[in-house]
Structure 1
Amino acid sequence: MMVCTGCALLCEDVEKYDGEVRDACRIGTAHIRNRQQINPMVDRKVVDMDSAIKGALDILSHAKRPVFVGFGNSITETQQTGIRLAEKIDASIKTFHTGIIENILNNRVKTCTLSDVRDYADVIVFWECDPMNTHPRLLSKYAYYPRGEKRQHGWEEDRIAITIDLRYSHTASICREVHKIHPGLDADFIDALIDGLHNKVPKTTYDKKQILKLAGTLKKAEFGVIFAGTGMTTPQDAIIRLMDELNEVSNFHILPMTPGYNLRSIAAQLHGRADSGIDMHEADCVLCLGFDLLNSLPVHEINGKMIVIDPNDTISSRYADVVIPCAAGGVDCAGSAVRMDGVEVDLPRIMESERISDASIMNQLLEAM
């Protein structure tokens, strides 16, 4: 058995036998089998590992405004070392999509475990997320299909699935209710829904009957869960207000659909930590750790030198000044991680390789600085 680090579900029932991956989803299978490994590079020229690490040290030692980004796809041990390195050189650490995790850590919203979802949830809301394509086994292991302790009939009788999204997603195809929201108007939808929870006819451009129907369904929940996706760009205070109102009339919990397999861990470690506040555009050095920054940000927006530490070939690695390949957590590197619901999981190594872990690389950088 192994733990799959293809997504934040960290499925522990996956097997790899004679090169065959069993019981993993398509994302997990591709992740475990992936062989798009990269070479160590400096100035886009292939070098040996020592030279790549030396190149990274040279950039870091001369940086006045360094920024570290990513960490969500790195083992917890790497994150801990990365934070120590950031503190040593006064670097800012940027993570993304952690707002709801922060609210959970601050006890501003109710949450639960995935096991609780499987055993007790009767109303499940997929809010601007499409787990069929991002966390494919969520529905079969926890959120919809399985029989739980209090949900012996599963999706056939005991569960109601609802999608709230900008578009009709694959996940929406199995949901009993589908509500389309307009770009930039998430807060308006929440305000209308809160009115509906108080039996008021909402003043909104959305379909009032549909809003009232949704409010009625949510109020009847014995154990409701909102899976909040990265597309849920609503201001955090609006999400907190919605959760407070839901729990006045029902029993609701929220879980973040984190994009990185260990994003929950780095968010917890950075929680309450003072940051130097360096803006990404002002940085003269950007260290990307297990994160493809240029998949989200145009290359002309990066003004500083870029260091990439990653197991795989990415857009960022093709433009980086220094590239340091590393082992993949849970594949050829052991460690630990925190699942999207806050449960800690050990990651055994399932295969040997010549690649060194990102924890080892960060330790070398820390010791040399």
Structure 2
Amino acid sequence: MPKLITQVGCPYCGSSCDDIEVLVSDDNKKILEVHNACIIGTNLFHHANDPTRPKLPRMRQPDGSIKEISYDEAIDFTAKTLLAAKKPLIYGFGSTNCEGMSAVARIAEKSGAVLDNCASICHGPSFLAMFDNGYPSCTLGEAKNRADVVVFWGCNPMHAHPRHTSRYSIFPRGYFTQKGQMQRTIISVDPRQTDTAKLADIHLMLNQGHDYELFDAFRTVLKGYDIPDEVAGIKKEVIVKSVEVMKKARFVMIFFGMGCTHTDGRNHNIDAAISLTRDLNLHTKASIMAMRGHYNIAGPGQVWAWLFGFPYCVDLSKGTAAHMNPGETSSIDLAMRDEVDCFVNVGTDAGAHWPIDAIKHIKKHPFITVDPNFCMASEISDLHIPVRIAGVDEPGVVYRMDNVPIQFKSVIDGLPGVPSDEELFDKIYERMCELTKTQPVWLTSKEDRKHPTNISAVNEA
């Protein structure tokens, strides 16, 4: 008999929906149906049934052809390559569980690598603003239950986070918002007529790249001062009306996306957005949240901040202490300056998302991809190592876009012989220790890590 597994987490976007129901075959090897997920999340689950999923590592040969090799060979090659490199770069982790992110930290320390994640090319500017100006945020549950004015600034959740509007922001009936959409005023700030903007009560179609000016105009009006007749392409009366709507709200929720972080101003845009949120709190209650892209891209920021003190762009090459300086230690900048001599791409697709010039520099050196699927990065790599899919055939902890940790389940059995990210990184670390004749240092015993509820104390080693 098929089994219905409930309260499953979706490994797609930063909404990390955890109300998915998955019907699996009685032998636990095939996904039959997926309920509640968006179309993209549904396809992700069904993709686990794809018979063409890679089951063995693939190594590029001297003649350019690709040949399947064993996991032991792949682990040995990766360990030796990382140890031989002067400054390796390990990047990605948008689609990896926190256990894998923690395991890779030992490899990065052992090899003196730079450890970076996808935030480096998306919400990195948001981190810089938060360092400077704080982060008056909340949980998505609070947004759902309290927010009667919702602002989408430089983001389009209808496409990027398909169930965000139905679960957290526009349509859901919350504890203090029991009439749902009828009780909320939606403001969209976007230079385009997006599908999210079409749902808005007020759409401010600003001139592209002028977000900072508009943030400042909002703050100026909020403080009771006058502004020009038009700012950033928006009429004064529209700005004043929007500010009045926000001032009269019981709870204002500002969601911002890469439309703010990737236009002129970058981190200064977010700095201004945070300051606007703080100003609003003098009149009502207000909060702000970054619309994080991947389902666990908030994870490395949490895990590495605990381990090293920094959420991204973590340079461990000095051997004494972690160092972070975006622009110097960020992935694209390192690649463009040709400063790294080994690249490990984990759970993301640098081949599709990086500038071509950066990829050309990276390709001069050993290029390793760790990913469950074929992608552009895997096809240009010297070595592609497949792993299980976190949230589908591998459980683990993920952090939702509001930095709330969620325990994701495994709904089907993994492919025979294919390890998880954590298992692969642990084996690479052990091989590195063998090659350097050093003793592996584990925070907890292997048996405890297989059964985390049994952990009663941390080894002092």
Pick aligned residue for 2:213 from 183, 188, 196: 188
Q: Among 292, 296, 306, which residue is 2:349 paired with? A: 292
Name the residue aligned to 2:147: 121
> Does the 8 Å contact 2:88/2:112 carry over to 1?
yes
Q: Report how many aligned residue pairs link the two structures.
A: 368
Contact 1:105 1:268 in 2 (8 A): no
> Counterparts of 2:290 and 2:11 in 1: how far apart (Å)?
17
**Which whole-Å deviations, capped at 9, do the CAs of 1:99-127 have from their partners, x for residues lacking one?**
43576688812111111111111011111
Tell me the equivalent position of 1:21.
Answer: 34
After superposition, residues 250-289 of structure 1 pair within 5 angstroms as 250-271=284-305, 272-273=309-310, 274-275=322-323, 278=329, 279-281=334-336, 282-289=339-346
- SS of 1:58's partner is helix
Q: What do residues 35-92 of structure 1 show as CA deviations (whole Å, max 9, x unaligned)?
A: 3634522125132233333332232122111111111211000001112221221111
User: Contact (CA 8 Å) 2:136, 2:274: kept in 1 or not?
Assistant: no
Q: Matched residues in 2 for 1:298 and 1:102: separation?
A: 22
Q: 2:57 — aligned with what? A: 40
> TM-score, normalised to structure 2's length?
0.75
- Equivalent AA in structure 2 for residue 280 of structure 1: A
Does 2:259 correspond to 1:231? yes
Of residues 152, 163, 174 in structure 1, which corresponds to 2:199? 174
Secondary structure (helix, strand or coil) at the match of 1:93 reads strand
Gaps of 5+ in 2: 1-5, 25-31, 311-321, 433-461
Residue 94 to residue 312, structure 1, CA distance change in 2 (3 Å): same
Q: Answer yes or no: is the 8 Å Cα contact 1:229–1:256 preserved in 2.
A: yes
User: Are 1:161 and 2:183 matched, yes or no?
Assistant: no
Determine if contact 1:163/1:177 at 8 Å carries over to the other structure.
yes
**In structure 2, distance between residues paired with 1:107 and 1:327:** 39
- Taking the aligned partners of 1:363 and 1:9, their CA distance within structure 2 comes to 29
CA distance in 2, matches of 1:250, 1:46: 62
- Using a 3 Å threshold, how does the CA distance of structure 1 residues 221 and 280 change in structure 2: closer, same or farther? farther
Tell me how far apart the structure 1 counterparts of residues 409 and 431 of structure 2 sit (CA, whole Å).
28
Q: CA deviation at 1:213?
A: 1.5
Matches of 1:54 and 1:11 in 2, distance apart?
37
Label 1:104 to 1:264 Cα distance change in 2 as closer, same or farther (>3 A): farther
Return the match for 1:322 from 366, 383, 407: 383
| Amino acid in the other structure paired with 1:64 | K
Task: Report which structure shows greater RCO (CA 8 Å, sep ≥6).
Answer: 1
2:84 partner amino acid: H
What amino acid is the match of 2:386?
A: P
Q: Which residue of 1 aligns with 2:438?
A: none
Taking a change above 3 Å as real, the CA distance of residues 102 and 112 of structure 1, as seen in their structure-2 partners, is: farther
1:66 and 2:88 are equivalent in the alignment: yes
- Give the 3-state SS of the residue equivalent to 1:232 in structure 2: helix
Give distance in 2, aligned partners of 1:181 and 1:226: 17
Query: In the aligned structure 2, how far is the partner of 1:166 from the partner of 1:40?
Result: 45
User: Residues 201 and 208 of structure 1 are in contact (CA less than 8 Å); yes or no, is this contact kept in structure 2?
Assistant: no
- Does structure 2 retain, via aligned residues, the 8 Å contact 1:109–1:243? no
* Pairwise CA distance, 1:31: 1.1
2:412 match: 351
Question: CA contact under 8 A between 2:210 and 2:232: conserved in structure 1?
Answer: no
Match of 1:7 among 4, 10, 13: 13
Matched, 1:218 2:218: no
Provide the residue aligned with 1:198 in structure 2.
Answer: 223
The 1:6/1:360 distance shift into structure 2, 3 A limit, reads same
Secondary structure of 1:224's counterpart equals strand
From the CA coordinates, give the structure whose radius of gyration is larger: 2
Corresponding residue of 2:283:
249
How far 1:192 sits from its partner (Å)? 1.4
Name the CA distance, whole Å, in 1 between partners of 2:227 and 2:388: 53
CA contact (8 A) 1:124 1:225 kept: yes
- Residues 148 and 154 of structure 1 are in contact (CA less than 8 Å); yes or no, is this contact kept in structure 2? yes
Find the aligned partners of 2:153 and 2:323 in 1 and give their Cα distance. Answer: 30
Amino acid in the other structure paired with 2:289 = L
TM-score in terms of structure 1 length: 0.93
Within the alignment, does 1:360 sit opposite 2:430 as a pair? Answer: no
Q: 1:27 is aligned with what amino acid?
A: I
Cα separation, 2, equivalents of 1:221 and 1:337? 33
Does the C-alpha gap of structure 1 residues 237 and 255 become closer, same or farther in structure 2, counting only changes over 3 Å?
Answer: closer
Which of 153, 158, 171 pairs up with 1:145? 171
Q: Deviations over 1:242-269 (max 9, x none)?
A: 2222222332111111111111121122
Q: Is the 8 A contact 1:14 1:22 kept in 2?
A: yes
Tell me the alpha carbon deviations over residues 143-200 of structure 1, each in whole angstroms, 9 at most, x when there is no partner.
11111111111111x1111111131111111111111232322211111111121233
Once residues 183 and 320 of structure 1 are traced to their aligned partners in structure 2, the CA distance between those partners, rounded to angstroms, is 36
Give the match's secondary structure for 1:81: helix
- Distance in 2, Cα, partners of 1:101 & 1:37: 35
Mean Cα deviation higher: 147-156 or 276-285: 276-285
- Partners in 2 of 1:259 and 1:146 — Cα distance? 21
Q: Deviations over 1:16-38 (max 9, x none)?
A: 11411111111110111113634
